[in-house]
Structure 1
């Protein structure tokens, strides 16, 4: 089994675990006695730890040139964090376990992207391959989310965290089969601009990542509450959410392949425009369930277009020597957007209502699209697919 298939399998296993645990973690903290304010503090603190850890894991991987071993360590650390969480009987233990989880998860996200970039280094179909791998992960997340609630009702929170730890432990064992990537000597099409491409990620790209992620997280963090205000049942809300996750799989494959042909920036911009249209759909069409189904399909394609192209761009820019650091910086930008979005969503709704939130999110998403289009104009060699295999 080659590294691409191994990484795709690991991605599937880890996203099943994330799908199981993510919707239930705050309920677990509440069961342990945490107030809503304390829950917010625990999650924010863990995200700050993840923010700092992304760059550290990437720098360490490039410095030591030991991505495979560090990746196994990060997966094992996440497994330990879940086992610890399952045994937690007080908030202090749960908080420390969550810190270890997010620090280790930063390593998993950063190193898996760098390793995937290594695996696809000489491929002419990076976008499609990245889209398939990440899209399969979306299906895994959806399956975990659907099954997690049932497991928690039947066996309790401790059991589901044991299950999640088991998934990560299996992933760590699978990662032992990864082979060290050879030194890369890619060939690009003759272009003086392409040969002088910078090693770091462009600021316009990172700005677009922050804006897009902020828009998406701010909107989705309050979307269930918005749907509830219209009288939709929990079943309808979860089904609409799951529909978007299912659509993400084909969307990532299609948009990844499209980015191989027309360039990453154009597909990234389409992802920004798609998420902006979703916000407008929430504003105008929330009273109609059939119309919301259409909006959620657009959301799946908007998410898929951005995610496949952004991951591919981050993994291929700068070459193998800089791939760990670039992956870490890319994930850092995403966490900054997550923090800003999670802090903005609830506070803005509290002060100005849901409509103000969705208007802001539409503006942020359009802002990300403009960043990506500007990037395409400023650095066409970085955003167009110029790869020749061999």
Structure 2
């Protein structure tokens, strides 16, 4: 159970994998309905897609899933964008014996985002971290470059948050979506939702960024640089050139990077359960190499996660985050383009996107004349409250969707 919980902080966590303290915070009135939809992972492909920096990718693929039915007008769609280490599995199950998506508590039949009413779409991003998990579909450095017959590596062009949106836009076009009743997502998904609101304001009715913020300021730029530093310092990284036969990937560096993300994304109570326990056979008071249980457990989870991921994809994702709203002179200029109603959801104990950053986002939205309100998602997990603790906000989300 402990490993499952820690992996939940690293992967597309679902409420069922959360520790008892998280599950216990969900009151009966907000409990998830028993039925969970079976969803299908599909693949979307494009040829000759030009990125915002002018580079053209000869081919690209992303995975996606849907639930519900698109109406004749094409205007009852909801887009759910995923967090940094997530993928398209935001809701439903791939099979009856498989775990549900990370937001299944609020997306599905009769839930806050009701798939009996809305056509809900969630897609993998380009350069998705989960490229080796056997389920995620993505194009990035690990993909084959058709011009060379070799893996792209760091010859793959830099992609921005806006590039994620442009690929999603083409996916939605292919599905017949003309308007989004809501665009939402947690963490990096919140940044994508905000980028959507600036890029296609005429297409969006409501925006709900969850555990995000209105800018990647110098403080956050440096945190992202700290996240990726262990990869760059791993001698196996070789400047991103580690795909050739006989070369070892920088798994140790990637695991260390994921450990930083995991601790950064949780609050103190989330790890307090370890106390100062010491694993059998370890004695940190006598040997410098010995560990505390809190260290060992997260190391184990991070290494398991690293083996399903790719280090270059991690670096490309951090850069895409650093390029959030990079085409606008300021956050205010970007948000001034929006015509939508907003619900900003923040975790008071978030150590990644601080509460004050969300208050700044709310103030900016109000300053540019957007109807906007703030809701808090609480629990012991800090930033991750917005991934696994959304069920208590179900009625608030329903009211937001019903507001004119």
Q: TM-score, normalised by structure 2?
A: 0.26
Q: Which has the higher contact order (CA 8 A, sep 6+)?
A: 1
Q: Which of the two has greater helix per residue?
A: 1
Q: TM-score, normalised by structure 1?
A: 0.27
Q: Which of the two has greater strand per residue?
A: 2
